[in-house]
Structure 1
Amino acid sequence: MTRVLVVDDSHFMRTVITDILEDAGLTVVAQAANGREAVELVADHDPDVVTMDVEMPEMNGIEAVEAIMDHDPVPIMMLSALTTDGADATLEAMEKGAVDFFAKPSGTISTDLSAHAEALVRTVESVAQSDPTAQTISTGQRSTADREGTYVDHPTLVIGASTGGPNVVESILADLPRSADFRVLVVQHMPDQFTGRFAKRLDGRSAYDVREASDGDRIGGGEALIAKGDYHMVVSGYSSGRLRVRLEQSAPVHSVRPAIDVTMESVAETIDDPVTAVVLTGMGSDGAAGVEAIDAIGGQVLAQDEETSAVFGIPGRAIETGCVDGVHPADELVDAVLDTIRDRT
């Protein structure tokens, strides 16, 4: 039975979250009204998962995540408002070690959270199964200059990730040398209020020009698009090394939108230059059909290994297809990606 610590400065929200979780059969072992209490209660109760509010008195959620991960690492799920500030704070908390997040549907005090009970419980249970120690990833240990080389023309890199993915995606884009000249497509399961801030964060840390995808966007070498939350990102055209995408709200695939499979399958159907696909940490099987499609056109497929994956669902299901060419720790993925496009003539 999953044991949960609920952390929120609102007594109302603590009660609502506790009722939702206990009605679903989870056990709430304790509640905390601020981050300082949360740190103490984690040490006392050793919960399977913590639901962590962001803005709290005495010690906020980001500070609490850092303290917990330093002393008593447990899986942490952030509960964040659907705002720009909430997105920025949540991404910072994930950098400190939080595994995933759940967006409060109507602000800090979400009176309608019960309407989203099933999704909340599913996310809590997913995070409870994760490995919190897999979240620390070092970037910049090698400069992009160390990775300079001669690469094939017009390569495309498509990355798929879910639970625990933002840190790994960031590490790849931060260390990817501009000289590789990839057209990069990223599908990270994330709500639409967050993907724009995620793209902005990546843009500030990468040599690539990164932005949230818009319908009709075109990119060439050295540019990256992040799939917009609640929209599938489909490659609709490709010519002279430039690709075009469209956004669509067709039915969710694997209960998610954007879906990794949708983007990867469209890449396989449209692009005739070199393609590398990478599947990263996350719950579920999204991406398995996509890597099969990439493999069928002669593309290269890489997967994150189990030891460094917070959740080994997505890479594990991809590996089971028999289409994965290499399995690597998170901090070795950039070099593995570059090896797929080296000009060996």
Structure 2
Amino acid sequence: MMTWTCSLLVSLSLLVVLITTDTNAALVNVALGKPASMPSIRGLTWTADLGNDGNADDNFFNNHCFQTDTEMSPWWQVDLQDVYYISQVNITNRRDCCTDRAANVEISVATDSPSNWTVVAFQEGQMGLFKSFTFDTVTARYIRVTLRNEESIFHLCEVEVFGEITPVDDCADSPCLNGGVCTDGINSYTCQCTQGFYGNNCGQALVNVALGKPASMPSIRGLTWTADLGNDGNADDNFFNNHCFQTDTEMSPWWQVDLQDVYYISQVNITNRKDCCTDRAANVEISVAKDVPSNWTVVAYQEGEMGLFKSFTFDTAEARYVRVTLRDKQTIFHLCEVEIYGYKLKSA
């Protein structure tokens, strides 16, 4: 008779699982095989991972159940490894002995870290051989099962956490602005900004941080076409309107600007002279230095002629000094405007 009663109870438990799963056809057990933990282990065999191994065998000695040592408010928890929408937790208890130990069962969840817990379900008193906890849908990465205010050994044979198979999409609300591309993370997102924008949500526009800053070059051809004309804010490409700089004939001639502070830069726009001699601007190299104008790092290079205009984009670099060089060319060097786009982080 006892055997028949246990078999009937197990059959009813399985029936509840099947009905629940079928009723919530879109839900799956998102805890299956995920990393599990508990505060202690009684013996070496009954480890935390047995609580969500997919085997609900409720005979403890078949080694599909976890067991803690004696604890005050003992717990077992699982890291779902992403944030899911969950609304149901099914628990299979041990049946061969000590079923009454599973009492005052509390289900709590956390989204950001396994510390800021929110209780979503509670069963006062003994839970019996099987319990299906259902609750309003919540977002959660961590699930914890606790015997609230109980000083006891804690053992269960299976914990199933039912949620949507698709985790929470942190990009669903399109947080990236100005055409930025959103990448979903674990309760977070990152934005890949389009050219000209920056910030966590790409909401801030890059500015020309070179405008009016001190500029220099190795020589000047004539007295008119000085280095400061390369970043005066006027991109008039007619050389004789006096908004272009010009060096004398040099080997690898260069022009550089001191931004007067360290900026994060990712784009340099160059306007060439168009009325004559456009082909002189060839093998254009962009290099940056953070500390002193000598430890240069090349961030962009255009082999051959650059044409009338070139926008160089590159991975964001920290720079105070920016230099434009005609690599391995012996020539006069002239350009009509150099714009350097970047930003400076606000002080904490």
Fold shared, TM-score > 0.5 on shorter chain: no
TM-score in terms of structure 2 length: 0.18
- Structure ranking higher in strand proportion: 2
- Structure ranking higher in helix proportion: 1
TM-score in terms of structure 1 length: 0.19
